[in-house]
Structure 1
């Protein structure tokens, strides 16, 4: 079939597959264009998402069809239906869960198996299969050879076993065939990735593939039943967002990655292309709130335990807390460009690693302590190391709050006195004061209280701009920033405070585009080009409006942001201001977190008004 290079395909055309360790993205016409195994941050096996030469695996009818797709109920198992002149086939795709994994055990083992099953439900349909693995982000063109029950591909660190009951023609580093299916017939295929020096991975037979698919559906549904906690408006979207967060969780450690991809651009054709397959401390408190709504205590506890272990260090006046980690707790995330890849729609460079790990962001003290407050406020005695670490975090917030940093948005320019950073230091000390008896730190409460009140005075004095009539991005600055919407969310000021209302109105007026979506800021940030509107910030506006008692405007803003989910309920990071097209890494955990938290806030506000 003739086609344009698929690195130009819309980002929102992809659906996510996950096994709570790694991720794949599948296009609407049945091509796996992104797959990293065995971890989210592993080198890719398929990366046509970033360059047409970087590998894919396509299964689809040979003639044009009408395509619909959905996730099977309460799961992340994808079903794509192709209806065309020859008949109808249904393709089911999943990253396999370990055999018998249910509920909280999902992702406990590491099967590393991509399952694909295509079934003809009517007619006689020629189906094309094209398999072009390109390990290590397309650097390796493996040697492919037929074996009993499938194909083996050797090259680089991996050996790939593709199970197939039909013969594929091998030509160089591509294997393909066209096979006609009749009504009632099905094909089961699978891909397993193993290490080149490890034991050979046997091919799976079609019956085994069918069983693994059914078992994976059952695993996801068991988790969804355990976590159907949210009752209220947008219940389906909240439930789906909870499953996305679970899919973006690295089960062995509890880490949650910011997104499944690297280098999908914030600005088409620009350089704002980052690797998001890591975990940020800044996301912690909002993530835990979302997990409390759409998941359960197990996910909250595992995520916070990971961050506490990864970030544990001896804090003193000369040592800052690192802002982000690899999914195994790795600290050195040094960034490098992959110059052989052209990038999505020519958006280069493609990067792996993220040099933001070197930045200084003092807001993370508040995120950690707010998260600890959520987890431990009703807990029993804490162990000595946890108490010592959290006391050190609070002391660091008290010591460093008055210093400049790079801020929440990781500005790659000079350090500044960002309001959000000061706000989160206030949050950290406020929560530490509450936790002091549990931490065995009542002797520190007086000092923490003095620092907290100093921060509050500084924010109210230097963060409010009389000319703008709003709280602004940084002290003594005139630029607006959507992060100031967090002031009522963290309890610094009530949502109906006149200054908060004025700030919310200023953001709605000056940072919101014609579509009703919110920009992070308009200030210079040390990078060339412009970025799109942020879905997270739009959900923040809905959240802040709800806290201000503006229920109807909050609902309208929420609906606007939620409408940018694709056909299977996935949200990108941003929306291109010129075209309205979703951009940025995908799917974006923070966008789904914003959806969950805003939905809960709007629901709770409505309940208060009703009573």
Structure 2
């Protein structure tokens, strides 16, 4: 099985596919990110795949076409060069801000002989519902029809293919200048029959649509522009356009530790991740989705007063119940069991999400001058909830399942919620609430300063009464709770660097054992260092972490500190959010001429 970093991410702003460097599509979940897979060999041999590659020995190189999420792979053989171009179709004629609204749910693959000749081999083993279904395959006038469970697939090609039981295979030769195009159309059994599209035209239109979006969003002028630009494209591809939901990652059960059990389904819209994403896209000069996200959030959350706690996550369409279950027939990525579908974290109380959502509204206030009544009402309710519940324990930002605690990051984010709500009171038509919010804000601040500081650790620690460090507290200077050059913040950063950092890679907490380094934590460290004036050290950490991207500029959730491999779900929105924000912070500090200290 390929390394996680060996995969390219294809997106159509509704679903996602992963294709390996040797031309195998090992993951595809149409028609939306959290739908059952058609190909899932990524998680087990029964999951299904679609590979296209030359016969014999070859070497490969690949890249994204500039300004797109379309990947090009070159296979070099002793007889020539074969080029494979892969994409999820965005729909013919789609341009502008909201690409992906009319995705036809088609996987496009084009093969070109660039030099010499090549013998091409094709194998399609579709296995719907995570490999539970072995489909019926037959020829038809529209192409090859693949039917199983609730899924219907139509494969079209300009070269002859053979049906072999539940497989589709093909072998043919291409000489220099010749090409072959394949299109795999997906629909549900209740949808009308597919009208096959022109694969060549659809690929051209998809490239043009991505580039049109990219041209409209090139306002970022800070350092590390290419990395920020690629990350912005990834975040856009992780946005489910029909609703505005932002997906945390397009995969499930890629392990935090290979062979371990920390394998979670991330194909859902966390309010936290969505808020973080909109802030990062604002930094990257892509602030188009603000109204749609807040409206989706308001519709999904509903009346906060009627809930035991603020819901933290939803399905891409706004679904509430994401009950978790396991797929026993799949052995998991490199025997990392269990393979999970759904995520029981939807039941958790996580107070930090309140602050992240209102902070996002504050950052995007210039784009939110006319909030819908539902969105404004939600933000008012969230601020009230912060004032009412900040004293309560919760599951925290890391979604631990070992019980609730008084996590410091959750308290800080309640303070952020109240601070930003006071500043947004005019926009929210909530001036009468300001005295109450201000009083609660002062109370939570006092509690953090007195109960969050641990004198024996000389640091703000992860929870009240704890001596364990937690990299999440790095958000304190980033969000302005205390200045970055405050003595206690500097001491906390120094303690984290001493105890949680190895070669620039940051673990989430002390006593984490062999757990990998959480990528966003390293980028938070970059921001804290830069804001404290330690810009040289900030750049050093940024470049150390960013050097771990794969050859396409993609980041997973974590980095294995033992061997440097990318681990966890992939690509991970939070990691790319961290990259964008860290690069921007470095640029802001340098532009302001902040004096460099230490480093």
Shorter-chain TM-score category? over 0.9
Which residue pairs with 2:590 in the alignment?
606
Q: Per the alignment, do residues 455 and 352 of structure 1 end up closer, same or farther by CA in structure 2, a change over 3 Å counting?
A: same
Deviations for 1:177-225, whole angstroms, at most 9, x for unmatched residues? 2211111110011100112243222444xxx211111111000000000
Match of 2:266 in 1: 276
CA contact (8 A) 2:278 2:287 kept: no
Partner Cα separation in structure 2 for residue 405 and residue 198 of structure 1:
43
State the distance in 2 between where 1:323 and 1:530 align.
Answer: 28
Tell me how far apart the structure 2 counterparts of residues 314 and 592 of structure 1 sit (CA, whole Å).
30
User: Structure 2: where are the runs of 5+ without partners?
Assistant: none
1:593 aligns with 2:586: no
Change (3 A) 1:203 1:434: closer
Normalising by structure 1, report the TM-score.
0.95
Would you say the 8 A contact 2:282–2:364 is kept in 1?
Answer: no
Q: What CA distance in whole angstroms lies between the structure 1 residues aligned with 2:515 and 2:378?
A: 37
Q: Which whole-Å CA distance do the structure 2 matches of 1:559 and 1:65 have between them?
A: 32
State the 1:436 CA deviation: 1.6
Contact 1:574 1:584 (8 Å CA) reproduced: yes
The reply to whether residue 558 of structure 1 matches residue 542 of structure 2 is: yes
C-alpha separation between the residues in 1 aligned to 2:587 and 2:530? 9
Aligned equivalent of 1:296? 286
Assess, with a 3 A threshold, how the Cα gap between structure 1 residues 169 and 382 changes in structure 2: closer, same or farther: closer
How far is the alpha carbon of 1:378 from its aligned partner?
A: 7.3
Partner of 1:5: none
Residues 162-241 of structure 1 mapped to structure 2, 5 A cutoff? 162-204=155-197, 208-241=198-231
Contact in 2 for aligned 1:482/1:521 (Cα 8 Å): yes
CA deviations 1:140-187 (Å, max 9, x no partner) are 111111223631111110111011122222222112122111111100
Return the alpha-carbon distance in structure 1 between the equivalents of residues 173 and 367 of structure 2: 61
Residue pairs, 1:480-559, within 5 angstroms:
480-513=469-502, 515-523=503-511, 530-559=514-543
When the two chains are superposed, the root-mean-square deviation of aligned CA atoms in Å is 1.5
Contact 1:120–1:184 (CA<8 Å) still a contact in 2? yes
Tell me, yes or no, if structure 1 residue 323 matches structure 2 residue 312: yes
- The answer on whether the counterparts of 1:133 and 1:174 sit within 8 Å (CA) in structure 2 is yes
Structure 1 residues 382, 238: closer, same or farther in 2, change over 3 A? closer
Q: What SS does the corresponding residue of 2:100 show, helix, strand or coil? A: coil
SS at match of 2:420: helix
2:302 corresponds to: 312
Q: TM-score, normalised by structure 2?
A: 0.97
Mark the CA change 1:554 to 1:383 in structure 2 (over 3 Å): closer, same or farther.
same
How much has 1:39 moved relative to structure 2? 0.3
- Report SS of the residue matched to 2:318: coil
Q: Secondary structure at the match of 1:267?
A: coil
Structure 1, unpaired ranges of 5+ = 1-7
Distance 2:319 2:285 in 1: 26
Equivalence map 1:249-260=2 (5 Å): 249-260=239-250
Cα drift, residue 232 of structure 1? 2.2
Distance change (3 Å), C-alpha of 1:328 and 1:607: same
Q: Look up the match of 1:73.
A: 66
Relative distance call for 1:18 and 1:295 in structure 2 (3 A) is farther
Q: How is 1:72-221 mapped onto 2 (pairs within 5 angstroms)?
A: 72-148=65-141, 150-204=143-197, 208-221=198-211
Q: Give the SS at the match of 2:425.
A: helix
Residue 462 of structure 1 is matched in structure 2 by 451
